[in-house]
């Protein structure tokens, strides 16, 4: 008697596998738009690709002229748009479990009917979970590239951007420059005033660096008290002027350290990308220029000069 359940289970297993096979075929071949949409969205975590799929499937049911999606993920604005124009609009704030995952708007020349709006809402209800996952994936990627203390990109982000910048400079012959700056005597700040004050100083320094450069430039926390600034379309002389502006901005920082006002200076090293060199060689030259600045009195800028 004890063997009967296992025999019955074994006997039904082929039927179960056949049913699973049929279900898999139905899943892949169904003409149902919601099943097809869900299946297509499950193939990617790219929010841009998901929105393209959503626009494709949605347009097959409810015609529209423009789809616009916008969402702020972390510190970045994500915008996706397809099509043009249309005076009539329907707009949906995409939310799930109390969290916001962006706003989607549809535009067209004719007014949307109630039945069409109901269809849009059903399709969005099938798409919201994949969209949530894609938004979370972007947020996780951002976090992995962001310094938790200062909120600016970290060394991993810098390494990726330096590689990309060197390739662009090589391909298009456009100048890119790199500045490394190191807060002078920062260990003394931590030893004298504690890490809370030191961390506060690093946060202020990062904010001042971002104010001192263009929106097209990128600021990174490269190490403990070391920052990097990537300057697209910037030659050696202009990069030196930016480094001097940064140095003056850091000198202007004032932090209340209790018994006295705390000030800090910075040393800067500048290097402009050279053809045929690697991103690491470029970084090494900027680091060499910074080394000279640190050992030639600090609170100054040194350039790894190139011979043209």
Residue numbers annotated as active site: 225
Beta strands 301-303 and 261-262: pairing type?
Answer: unpaired
Beta strands 301-303 and 266-272: pairing type?
Answer: parallel
Q: Largest alpha-carbon pair distance within the chain? A: 92
Alpha-carbon separation of residue 265 from 7, 201, 210, 248 (angstroms): 81, 11, 16, 8
- Residue 292 in tokens: 């000279």
Task: Concatenate the DSSP letters of all residues of 64-84 into one string.
Answer: -SEEEEEEEETTEEEEEEEE-
Rounded distance between C-alpha atoms, residue 155 and residue 3, angstroms: 62
Beta strands 218-221 and 226-232: pairing type?
Answer: antiparallel
- Which residues, in sequence order, are bridge partners of residue 79? 70
Rounded distance between C-alpha atoms, residue 91 and residue 257, angstroms: 51
Buried b (16+ CB within 10 A) or exposed e, 226-240: bbbbbbbebebeebb
Q: Is 7 helix (H, G, I), strand (E, B) or coil?
A: helix
- Residue 20 in tokens: 């699973």
């Amino acid at each position: 008697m004890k063997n009967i359940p296992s025999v019955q289970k074994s006997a039904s297993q082929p039927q179960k596998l056949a049913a699973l096979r049929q279900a898999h075929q139905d899943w892949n071949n169904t003409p149902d738009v919601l099943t097809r949409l869900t299946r297509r969205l499950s193939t990617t975590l790219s929010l841009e690709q998901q929105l393209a799929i959503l626009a494709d499937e949605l347009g097959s049911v409810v015609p529209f002229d423009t789809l616009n999606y916008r969402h702020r993920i972390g510190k970045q604005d994500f915008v996706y748009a397809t099509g043009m124009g249309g005076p009539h609009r329907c707009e949906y704030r995409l939310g799930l479990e109390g969290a916001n995952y962006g706003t989607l708007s549809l535009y067209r020349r004719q007014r949307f009917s109630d039945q069409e709006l109901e269809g849009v809402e059903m399709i969005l209800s099938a798409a919201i979970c994949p969209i949530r996952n894609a938004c979370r994936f972007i947020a996780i990627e951002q976090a992995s590239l962001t310094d938790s203390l200062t909120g600016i990109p970290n060394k991993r982000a810098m390494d990726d951007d330096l590689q990309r910048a060197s390739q662009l400079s090589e391909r298009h012959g456009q100048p890119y420059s790199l500045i490394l700056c190191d807060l002078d005597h920062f260990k003394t700040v931590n030893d004298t005033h504690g890490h809370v004050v030191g961390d506060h100083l690093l946060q202020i320094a990062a904010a001042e660096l971002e104010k001192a450069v263009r929106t097209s430039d990128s600021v990174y926390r490269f190490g403990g008290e070391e920052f990097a600034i990537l300057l697209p379309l910037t030659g050696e002389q202009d990069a030196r002027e930016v480094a001097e502006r940064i140095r003056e901005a850091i000198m202007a920082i004032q932090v209340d350290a209790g018994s006295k006002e705390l000030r800090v200076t910075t040393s800067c090293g500048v290097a402009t990308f050279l053809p045929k060199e690697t991103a690491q060689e470029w970084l090494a030259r900027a680091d060499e220029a910074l080394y000279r600045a640190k050992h030639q009195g600090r609170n100054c800028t040194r350039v790894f000069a190139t011979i043209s």
